[in-house]
Amino acid sequence: MMSVAAPNLIDSDRWIVADSEQFREKFNQRSFEVFHSLASHPLFQLPRLLDLAERTLPSRPEDIYYDAGDIRVDQRWEDCPKQGFSATEALQRIENSGAWIIFRSAQRDPEYRVLLDRGLAELKAHMGPEINSKILVEDIIIFVTSPKRITTYHIDRECNFLLQIRGTKTLYVFDREDREVLPEEEIERFWSVDSNAPVYKPHLQDRAAAYKLAPGNGVHIPVNCPHWLQNDDNLSISLSVNFQFKDPLRANIYRANYLLRRLGLKPTPPGKSSSLDSLKSHGMVPLVAAAYAYKRRKFWR
């Protein structure tokens, strides 16, 4: 279980602190721990989050997702149980509703925009000035989780920093380059037609890096690193500062490989042949676009 003493943030005017050398070495390659001073921020208190839900639901209902009930590590998104009450009610009953509530794109609310602007500015200071030209979408997501709730095993399109605000939980992050944990076929399906394509393999659980999240710390999760979370017997509130990169070429290679595999071929993984990578990422754009459009119609993520 990874846990590092937090730096003294009392005299600092920064919200997010990370080791610069570790940041340069591991950013979007491997997971690592960061620290922050947002745990007492008023915007993350439950009454303010209820206000956010009441402002968001009438105009942007798609920006709030929730499910509730007993969840397995390997459960698919569409199989998560729904309840006969609203997201607001789930939040009001969060201590015993067994819920997982997501505020997507919280920065669309003016009060929360500062969290994205300042948080990303501080993170970009570690990344270097060239990072701005590589980012397509900047976003913040707020997670509110009931006691003992599990967040299922999955991978994301976004590069993110998950910051723990309230409560404690354990985050398990796997190496995205481990092809026993994450086979090429699962990555291809994820980028093409199935946001839940990665399959949890319990016999490989000991390969995960385990992070104990508590108010004041957080973890960087690179794009496509498999992960899942186990909440402790407490209410949990987390902030995800994340972004998608502009460069779609690697994703397009996976989408092209998905189509080639459907034709009975055994496609070469990305990085093995620059000429094949170039052909797949540029020459198969129409087929790639069609597959991606199909996926976007079919799945919520």
The Cα 230–Cα 212 span in angstroms is 10
DSSP state, residue 227: E
The Cα 110–Cα 52 span in angstroms is 10
Residue 210's H or E segment, with its range, is strand 209-213
The phi and psi torsions of 286 (rounded to 5 degrees) equal: -60, -45
The Cα 18–Cα 126 span in angstroms is 8
pTM score above 0.85: yes
Residue 230's H or E segment, with its range, is strand 227-231
- Residue by residue, pLDDT tens for the chain (301 residues) are 655 444 444 445 778 888 888 888 899 999 999 999 999 999 999 999 999 999 999 999 999 999 888 899 999 888 887 777 788 888 999 999 899 999 999 999 999 998 888 888 888 888 777 777 788 888 999 999 999 999 999 999 999 999 999 999 999 999 999 999 999 999 999 999 999 999 999 999 999 999 999 999 999 999 999 999 999 999 999 999 998 887 667 888 898 899 889 888 899 998 888 888 888 877 655 555 555 555 555 444 4
* Predicted pLDDT at 284: 59
* 8 A C-beta contact, residue 71 and residue 20: no
The phi and psi torsions of 280 (rounded to 5 degrees) equal: -70, -40
Angle between helix axes 249-262 and 184-192 (nearest 10 degrees) is 100
